[in-house]
């Protein structure tokens, strides 16, 4: 179910070496530098050697103020079926969701795929010599199958602002909660998205169907992908007939309570940046996809067995880089706009850090710092 309201919301020169920051950040840059170990004063006692309170203080502080980990945690719903009056109602809800709504939604999605494939395959192969017509029909078919996906969740999506149009030298950027962000935006406008390459059936769709709308894929583990993706982005934004380019500059899924740092690559293309804010209402289901704990298939099943997915999408006022403004400052300004509109908290973290772990070198430095402090006290007379 969709509704649309009309709330509204100097390109810079493209650098020769466009950085997309597809590589992993250095985790040690974000960890405390220097030693937090305080040497005991006065005469050395056994309790001084056994005193690890400074180390415990630092560890406890990291646990208490871990704003980074909070960005990627799913919030479990509050239990409400805790008494004899509510439990039967909850059981009825489970029966309705799993044995009535879910089969109907599977049927809707199956019908959607039958319609889509029976139309897409002939169009894709029989209109090879008519590229303009073929792309137009394929674009409409991709929007159609995305609408079936949204219907299979009983998606209640409200769009605010003007619908995106095909124009050269513009890029759309949005906060990222789940891969369904792309589906929700795609059902209104066939975007060409830049996205991590996925395995399985999702990867098959990426390399076949979504390739037809100009989507661009990369692999975080491949360093050579940086140059390839950078060139594809530059070429895509210059094309007047290309689908609008959509980028999720956070580079990873965040739980729709926070926004992490935006990668600057989308803001170095020398074109207009159109912010898109996405906010999910978690009254029925948490739309956050934690890819480290859950496959996308299981994520879809979770959505299809919920009551509904409720979401607001705001197409905000286009932004251009200001004179003297760096790409990083431009990215932060756009992140401010999206965060305010969607009611999200900004945190100063690189989202790729969730794929990293502290190196043995950092642990050894902490151990060495602690041992040197004790040895200095032992050598004193």
Q: Where are the domains of the chain?
A: 155-354
As a whole number of angstroms, the distance between CA 218 and CA 228 comes to 9
Measured in residues, the chain has a length of: 381
Residue with structure tokens 């403004």?
A: 325
- What lies within 8 Å, CB to CB, of 375 at 6+ separation is none
The pLDDT of residue 195 is 79
Residue pair 215/245 in contact by the 8 Å Cβ criterion: no
Residue pair 246/174 in contact by the 8 Å Cβ criterion: yes
* CB-count exposure of residue 107 (10 Å: 0-12, 13-18, 19+): exposed
Beta sheet of 155-160, edge-to-edge order: 2-5, 155-160, 309-315, 272-281, 170-174, 245-247, 192-196, 216-218
Please report, for residues 165, 208, 314, the alpha-carbon distance to residue 203 in angstroms, rounded to integers and kept in the order given. 27, 9, 28
Closest CA to 314 of 146, 187, 164, 144: 164
Q: Structure tokens of 72?
A: 């990627």
- Torsion-angle region of 318 (φ positive above 0: left; ψ -120 to 50: alpha; else: beta): beta
Low-confidence ranges of the chain (pLDDT < 50): 5-24, 27-28, 30-31, 35-37, 39-40, 63-65, 381
- What lies within 8 Å, CB to CB, of 268 at 6+ separation is 12, 14, 15, 18, 19, 327
The pLDDT of residue 127 is 87
As a whole number of angstroms, the distance between CA 245 and CA 54 comes to 50
Tens digits of residue pLDDT in 24-39: 455 445 445 554 445 4
- What lies within 8 Å, CB to CB, of 65 at 6+ separation is none
With H, G, I as helix, E, B as strand and everything else as coil, classify residue 85: coil
The pLDDT of residue 364 is 66
CA–centroid distance for 353 within its chain: 13
Q: What is the DSSP string of 24-78?
A: PP-GGGGSPPS--PPPPPSS--HHHHH--HHHHHHHHHHHHT-HHHHTT-PPPPP
86-91 CB contacts, 8 Å cutoff, 24+ apart: none
Residue with structure tokens 């795609």?
A: 186
């Amino acid at each position: 179910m969709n509704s649309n309201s009309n709330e509204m919301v100097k390109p810079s020169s493209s650098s020769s070496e466009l950085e997309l920051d597809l590589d992993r950040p250095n985790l040690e840059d974000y960890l405390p530098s220097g030693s937090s170990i305080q040497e005991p004063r006065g005469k050395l006692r056994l309790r001084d050697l056994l005193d690890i309170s400074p180390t415990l203080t630092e560890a406890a502080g990291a646990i208490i103020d871990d704003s980074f980990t909070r960005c990627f945690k799913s919030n479990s719903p509050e239990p409400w079926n805790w008494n004899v009056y509510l439990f039967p109602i909850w059981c009825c809800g489970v029966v309705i969701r799993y044995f009535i709504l879910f089969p109907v939604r599977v049927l809707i999605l199956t019908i959607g795929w039958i319609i889509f494939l029976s139309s897409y395959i002939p169009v894709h192969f029989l209109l090879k010599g008519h590229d303009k017509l073929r792309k137009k029909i394929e674009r409409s078919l991709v929007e159609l199958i995305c609408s079936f996906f949204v219907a299979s969740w009983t998606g209640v999506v409200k769009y605010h602002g003007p619908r995106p149009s095909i124009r050269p030298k513009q890029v759309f950027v949005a906060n990222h909660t789940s891969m369904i962000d792309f589906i929700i935006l795609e059902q209104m406008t066939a975007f060409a998205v830049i996205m991590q390459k996925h395995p399985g059936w999702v990867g098959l769709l990426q390399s076949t169907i979504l390739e037809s709308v100009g989507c661009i894929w990369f692999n975080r583990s491949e360093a050579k992908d940086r140059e390839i993706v950078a060139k594809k982005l530059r070429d895509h934004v210059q094309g007047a007939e290309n689908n609008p380019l959509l980028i999720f500059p956070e580079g990873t899924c965040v739980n729709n309570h926070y926004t992490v740092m935006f990668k600057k690559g989308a803001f170095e293309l020398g074109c207009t940046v159109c912010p898109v804010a996405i906010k999910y209402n978690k009254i029925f289901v948490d739309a956050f996809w934690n890819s480290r704990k859950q496959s996308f298939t299981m994520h879809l099943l979770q959505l299809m067995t919920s009551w509904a997915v409720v979401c607001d999408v705001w197409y905000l006022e286009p932004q251009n880089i200001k004179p003297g403004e760096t790409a990083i400052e431009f990215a932060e300004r756009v992140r401010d706009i999206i965060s305010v509109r969607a009611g999200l908290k900004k945190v100063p973290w690189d989202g790729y850090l969730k794929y990293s772990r502290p190196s043995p070198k950092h642990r050894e430095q902490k151990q060495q710092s602690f041992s040197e402090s004790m040895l200095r006290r032992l050598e004193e007379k």
